[in-house]
Chains A and B, each alone.
Chain A
């Protein structure tokens, strides 16, 4: 089986298990403030990690290329409080233009 299929099945299993367990365990188990705080921070660090790796690295090297240009535009669009679709599309268009013509 390919790594992709293994990852699809593994991820689906764990994601559903968390969803189902949440519906099933007593609320008091997970209401501890420490758990709540960690849960607030986990998406922040993982999503930031993903942005970082996908924008500024290639395998094990740090690089600045068309993706950095696109993500800089996305960052600016977010600072300007532009709508989410505009953020994503402006980043993609910038990146594509730099990739094709720079």
Chain B
């Protein structure tokens, strides 16, 4: 039985590393996009270390890069970060961590670590999946952020390389798998129309942030 357990352990670690490398490689897209949005290499790396949540990071540089204020950038990316807190609620009962370890565990509570953990069968595999995936994504995401930022600094005009379109394409890919019903499509289309109609009349950054109101109204009533 020990042997069986070890084999299972190896596959959890293998899956975790696979996810870590694949997702981490997108850190290079983030690093490059940050430079294209007028952030520095140090700021890109600080975001990957300290914020460590892909959607929030891309949202922040997206809002500031299109002329939005720091405040609307912080609001948009923080709203996107709320879901990590809800993952944390789900994971806390499985992880049972206290003290400084909770600080580390909290920082690596993201889509991927939660997803891999919840895909396991036993509590010990769940813990292993969480820590291995979270640590692997953290490591590779940060390394690739630095490489992408340094690379983009060398490239020059981001539009000539399609970097300005790679960012919304990443967002489109991220939202795509969440559009799994007529209702979610209707919500996305309403957000599209609202953001377009507010653009000529509201300061940059506000059209994006204000779509959150749609989520609250539609989620409240059901």
Contact = CB atoms under 8 A, between A and B. Distances in A.
B168 A20 contact: no
B169 A74 contact: yes
Interface residues of B, number: 99
B53 to A, nearest CB: 5
Nearest to A3: B70
A16 B60 contact: no
Interface of B (DSSP majority class): helix
Contacts of B170: 88
Counting contact residues on chain A (CB < 8 A from B), the size range is 35 or more
Nearest to A81: B176
A75 B169 CA distance: 8
B199 A19 contact: no
A10 B212 contact: no
A20 B52 CA distance: 13
Interface string B174-204: 1110110000100110111011100111101
Interface of B: 29, 38-40, 43, 46-47, 50-53, 55-60, 62-64, 66-67, 69-70, 73-74, 76-93, 95, 97, 102-103, 105-107, 109, 159-176, 178-179, 184, 187-188, 190-192, 194-196, 199-202, 204, 207-212, 214-216, 218-220, 222
Given A7-B73, A16-B50, A22-B91, 19 more contacts: A4-B38, A7-B60, A8-B47, A11-B47, A15-B77, A16-B106, A20-B103, A21-B85, A37-B218, A39-B219, A45-B214, A51-B168, A53-B207, A57-B66, A60-B200, A60-B204, A70-B165, A91-B165, A95-B166
